[in-house]
Chain A
Amino acid sequence: MPYPSKQVPEVGRDRLLSWALRRQGKDTPPLVLSSRRVYILPTRAGWAFGAVLAVTFIAGINYGNGLAMLLCCWLAGFGLVAMLQTQRQLSGLRITSGSAEPAFAGNDVSLHLLFEARSRTSDLMVGLARSQGVAVLAGDVAGTLQLELQLPAATRGPWRAPPLRLESSAPFGLFRTWAWMQLEVGTLVYPAPQGSLLVPEVPAGANGRSRPGTGLDEMAWLRPFREGDSPRQVAWKAYARGAPLLVREYQGNVAAARDFSFDALSDPDIEARLSQLCRWVVDAAAQNETWTMSLPGTSPLRGRGAVHKRECLARLALFGHVAGHAGGN
């Protein structure tokens, strides 16, 4: 059902939004929405209810009809309770934590928010402050609520959560309450993994093997499984015997690294080059290969595995940006 949130005209809303955000400042979770920053206005249904109330009042007072007056007073009280209850949907709501996962450009950043409702909150909607769209629509919330917002990440670089709008018109739909927040939550947007160039071969003459994990290497030791480890490295036999998931670590093929060099690429477009590098990094990581990535102005990074991949991707994401901008991830 389309949600009627057209009360505030766009231009006015944007000015209001920037004023409110200036007033509120940045929000670092955990935070509690105080009533000072929870706004409320009647919806169209609310205005219609007000009109009914006005008619009732006029009729009651004009005819000196106590019953109509009583009806009017009661409905007015009902309206006030509706207003209080709607405001309470947001006022006092606690945002326990917010975090975002890195994403590739063109994909969506998932923003994880953890709410703690002071009382029963229902029909909470979370969306972008600057657009009408409502991303998440929750039914009843009692206690803790986890939300995942998919926000588009268009361009490479450090990413900061856009101003968000929390709103609700429960329980009667007569009022709409909303709050804006500018969360201090950020992450990185990696370049889109694109490019059609073949993965550079392992430099000829290097003393190593191009395909690790074939069993010819010397297995050095076993270590506990970490996320990102290739299934091929898992010691399945040991697992079958009842041991926890263990991963074989090898020695010997360290030298056999592919060289992903920014300068070696000929494309004049920097972003295209970064995308190509990203493609290679992702592929190499998926193949559990070892690679060296070198970007101008930084020392080459050499290694393998998930941590290395993340480091490389972060460098790619921040290439040309000041590193400090990458908020706390």
Chain B
Amino acid sequence: MLLVLAAFACSVLLHVDRLPVWCVAAAGIALTWHLLHLLGRLRLPGTPLRLLIAATLFAATLASFRSLQGLSAGSALLLVMGAAKLLEIRRRRDAMVMAFVSLVLLLAACLDRQSLARMPLYLLAGWSACAAIAALGGTPASRSARRAFCTAGGALLIALPFAGASFLLVPRLPGPLWSWSTGDQAQTGLDDQMSPGSISELSTSDAPAFRVRFEGTPPPASARYWRGPVLHEFDGFTWRRSRGQIAPKPASEARGTEIRYRVMLEPHGRNWLFGLDTIQAITSQGAGEFTFLTFDGQVMSARPVTSLRAYEGRSNLEVRNPGRLSMTGRRLDTQLPKDRNPRSVELALSMRAAAMNDRDYTARVLDLFRTGGFAYTLTPPRLGYNSVDDLIFNTRLGFCGHFASAYVMLMRAAGIPARVVTGYLGGEWNAIGGYFLIRQSDAHAWAEVWLDGQGWVRIDPTAVIAPQRLEQGLMDLMPDRGAASRLLRTPWIRQLAAAWDASGNWWEERVVRFNLASQMNLLQRLGLGSIDYRGMALLLAAVATVWGLLVAVWTTRGARGARADDIGKTWMRFQSLLRRRGMDVAPHEPPRTVARRAASQFPQAAAQIGEFTQQYLALRYGAAANPMSDGKSQEVVRLRVLLRRIARDTTAHRRARTAPTATG
């Protein structure tokens, strides 16, 4: 019974961080209640109270989730109903139900969270559920917790090869048959709007944003701009994505080699995906993961990314737009709020008047940023109502978002179409996993400017203010933020962190996201490319059969060894010893005959052989013989000592016999 409690407690533990606190609390109270009941301190509630509790919990779940569909609501319901059931366990059947509830709760956790770090807990939960089944399946004698854990653990270990083989071979579906909403969770990541300071908030987060594996040589750090939300609307303080306004997509031509890569995107709860600038195409493996490229060159997904998402991307570093920008596009990307940032507008107009053309103007503004005494900082001062004025003429301290915002605003004020692009920059190379890890702290913002004849041109004002930001991660750039951050930068800790991240990524990619495509891929590599469902089923059946036979043979062999008791084994060892010494011993020969012959052949050991045989016969057939003795007794030990002496004496005998020939 304790094991059932343990199994259920483990399953509850899996859901601590993904279900409402009251669910977990209810389960905890029920567990404590039952534990006190087992200790004889408290009685389980009577039927009316129990029904009341169950009804209350049901109603609470309904009220809290407003529906019973969906993974969270379903597992919450299962959890609280399991807790209610815990209060009425009377028979073995009820306890068995609890063990199965624990297994289903484990399944729910598997569906929701799959990170490698959680696996030990999942293993523990599965193991204890199986141990609970073992404890309930046997008679009271076999119900000790240790024994149950051993039995279940042994069975699980034996099952492991089968699990591996069937995991690889069970046919997969190309996509989901139906789907549950997994519920939105607040996740960190880029927002669809950018105010001064919003990106620097992200910079403190070491959480991974996504991982990228390149086919071929990866581009240098300064070219690894990961394009995310493109912001068009500006109210003088905050940049937002265009709402409702879309412009035709300008024609583009790509030059240079195409770069292919694969992205594993951490869930961020939003609709956009990230790709290397400039994105040409994004392909998702799973059906139902529909993606499209917007007019401003970002990738959108039809569904929010609520679970880890993998996709392939194709990008070109050099892309130009030879045509002209459409009117709507120009209008969208030149709008500015009136009466905001008046000094900046004035500055822009005067600088544009001094410049020869648009291109010259962009360079001049960049020069301003380079030489105007601007500094890059993670903790910029707060900016006022006219944020750009404040930055340019007042504080001169900013983070990437500040400079991008100011730059685009200066462009627009001069009538040049420009927009803010947010995303990530760089990424940390993980040598173990062979991929780049892009963290939330790599979040970045830059500007894109339309220059006729060239099209959209990426201009990163941060690059002129803090050129090192392009080459290094933010972590190296920032001044010490206390001992913890110094510790994080010690090489071996970094190595460890990289290894951990790589194994987590391997887990995600190879196990959690093992789907039809990866299965086909694997079979192809095994030379089974053309195998169909029937072939796979046959292969699986064959593997299972071989495994079953191995298990059967293994278990029987172990058992056969255990059948001969220790007394008999000692005699058998004596027989084989004599055979090794060159004597023919038939299995059916009676002990006394064997002993007589052995004594005559090895006179030196005759006394020992006689004593040994006497002892053996006394133990086996004597008055004190106990046919069911397991033979761990002292007599057996004595028998073995005698046997060892015989072995020693007979070798001495042999040496004595061979020695004269050696000297002679």
> Measuring CB to CB, which residues of chain A are less than 8 angstroms from any residue of chain B?
1, 44-45, 48-49, 52, 55-56, 59, 61-71, 73-78, 80-82, 84-85, 88, 92, 116, 118-120, 122-123, 137, 139-140, 142-144, 169-174
B506 at the interface (CB under 8 A from A): no
Docked-complex contact A55 and B138, CB < 8 angstroms = no
Docked-complex contact A81 and B163, CB < 8 angstroms = no
B110 at the interface (CB under 8 A from A): yes
Docked-complex contact A64 and B176, CB < 8 angstroms = yes
**Interface residues in B322-375 (C-beta closer than 8 Å to A):** none
Contact (A70, B511) CB under 8 Å given A45-B137, A118-B559: yes
Smallest beta-carbon distance B516→chain A, Å:
8
Give CA–CA (A274, B160) in the complex, Å. Answer: 67
Smallest beta-carbon distance A224→chain B, Å:
16
Smallest beta-carbon distance B4→chain A, Å:
13
B414 at the interface (CB under 8 A from A): no
Can you name 6 extra interface pairs (CB under 8 A) apart from A71-B107, A76-B159? A59-B111, A65-B512, A68-B111, A70-B167, A81-B159, A122-B139
Pull 29 A–B residue pairs with CB atoms less than 8 Å apart, ordered by A. A45-B137, A49-B100, A52-B104, A52-B107, A55-B104, A59-B111, A61-B172, A63-B111, A63-B176, A64-B286, A65-B111, A65-B114, A69-B172, A73-B163, A73-B167, A73-B170, A74-B126, A74-B160, A77-B161, A77-B166, A85-B155, A92-B559, A122-B138, A122-B139, A142-B562, A143-B563, A144-B627, A170-B142, A174-B137
Smallest beta-carbon distance A194→chain B, Å:
40
B6 at the interface (CB under 8 A from A): no
B177 at the interface (CB under 8 A from A): yes
Stretch of B45-53, B295-303, B386-394, B548-556 lying at the A interface: B548-556
Docked-complex contact A68 and B110, CB < 8 angstroms = yes
B644 at the interface (CB under 8 A from A): no
Which residues of A are found within 8 Å of B137, using beta-carbon distances?
45, 169-174
Within the complex, which residue of B142, B286, B627 is in contact with A140, where a contact is CB–CB below 8 Å?
A: B142
Give CA–CA (A116, B628) in the complex, Å. Answer: 10
Smallest beta-carbon distance B561→chain A, Å:
10
Which residues of B are found within 8 Å of A75, using beta-carbon distances?
103, 126
Docked-complex contact B107 and A62, CB < 8 angstroms = no
> Measuring CB to CB, which residues of chain B are less than 8 angstroms from any residue of chain A?
92-93, 96-97, 100, 103-104, 106-107, 110-111, 114, 122, 126, 130, 133-134, 136-142, 151-152, 155-156, 158-164, 166-167, 170, 172-173, 175-179, 286, 511-516, 544, 548, 551-552, 555-556, 558-560, 562-563, 565, 627-628, 630
Which residues of A are found within 8 Å of B130, using beta-carbon distances?
78, 172
Within the complex, which residue of B511, B551, B559 is in contact with A81, where a contact is CB–CB below 8 Å?
A: B551
Docked-complex contact B514 and A66, CB < 8 angstroms = yes
Give CA–CA (A73, B103) in the complex, Å. Answer: 13
Docked-complex contact B552 and A80, CB < 8 angstroms = no
**What residue in chain B is nearest A143 (Cβ atoms)?**
B628
Docked-complex contact A45 and B556, CB < 8 angstroms = no
**What residue in chain A is nearest B165 (Cβ atoms)?**
A73
Which residues of B are found within 8 Å of A81, using beta-carbon distances?
155-156, 158-159, 551
